Amino acid sequence: MKGNTCLPAIFVLLLFFALKGITAGQQQSELAQRGEYVFALAGGCACHSVPKGTPHTGGREFPIPMAKVYSTNLTADKETGLGQWSDQQIRDAMVKGRHRNGKRLLPVMPYEEYSGMAEEDLNALIGYLRTLKPVRKEIPALTTWLPFYRPLATFVWSALFNRASNTRAKAPLAGVERGRYIVEHVALCGDCHTPRNFLGVPDRSLYLAGSKKGPFGEEIPNITSDKETGIGEWSRTDIAELLLTGTKPDLDNIEGLMAEVVEAGYKKIRREDALAIADYLKSVPPVKNKIK
């Protein structure tokens, strides 16, 4: 008799744990899905892919003053990627510029901008990174002739320029504020479109005003609303269309680095987010800065 009353109880208990397991799994995949969207807003973290190589496996070479540095393998490979990193370690790298091994990351990794990313977006993004299929790829170490380059460069940078942002729990949902949030803390348009001085420090007086010699020596257009030298003549839908399709109002295809971030990410974002970015760009003060 006793056994008979126990059985249903065991059954209910098993069902409970099975359901709990299923909901935990569901939560995990919902998180990863939201993270995939944040990843798209972030231009597919395209600096961590070599053009035509296996995506997200890092190893892209970045020439910086007196050195060359290589981006990290973001896949879940245990030895060469993020497989052994805890969520907290990934977060510290993204927002504090601190490597799991204790070293400081060079500011080529835009952790200052990412420090303003909303907690919910950051968590989701990390959840998504966990789903990247492990791919083994050794990444070369920093190369430089200057001894103590990393500690020196990161010390000087943090002492003089470090501008961490305030953290926030949630991202703005709509409007110009959402556009500003995406541009400044997720999509990082300024990373390419704002010129830098010889030390690699962005020149805030030329915010989004382009550069004759941007990353990898590419010419980067002025995207402020200046009518003559910027994109003041573009409508908000022109700008959104470019982000979503890679086509300019004159029907030319976008090229170079912009094509990479469109292809790897911006193309997959929601139309309302592309329009929010456009509305924010239109609210940025026009700066006269002739590039072409």
Question: Which residues are at the interface with ligand HEC (CB under 6 A)?
Answer: 43, 183, 187-189, 191-193, 218, 220-221, 223, 231, 239, 242, 248, 254-258, 261, 266, 277, 281
Is 15 buried (19+), middle (13-18) or exposed (0-12) by CB count in 10 A? Answer: exposed
Angle at 170 between CA 273 and CA 182, to 5 degrees: 30
CB of 275 to ligand HEC, least distance (A): 11
**Least distance (Å) from ligand HEC to the CB of residue 52?**
16
Could you tell me how far CA 155 lies from the centroid of its own chain?
24
Nearer to ligand HEC, 55 or 83 (CB): 55
Which is nearest to 43 in space by CA: 267, 203, 287, 229?
Answer: 267
Residue closest to 232 by CA, chosen among 281, 183, 290 = 281
Q: Between residues 31 and 46, which has the closer beta carbon with respect to ligand HEC?
A: 46
Least spacing, CB of residue 44 vs ligand HEC, in Å: 10
Q: Which residues pair with 202 in a beta bridge?
A: 196
Residues 6+ apart with CB under 8 A from 149: 66, 67, 142
State which residue, 31 or 220, has the beta carbon closest to ligand HEC.
220
Of the pair 76, 262, the CB lying nearest ligand HEC is at 262
Cβ distance to ligand HEC smaller for residue 120 or 218: 218
CB 251, min distance to ligand HEC, A: 12
How far apart are CB 194 and ligand HEC at their closest, in Å?
10
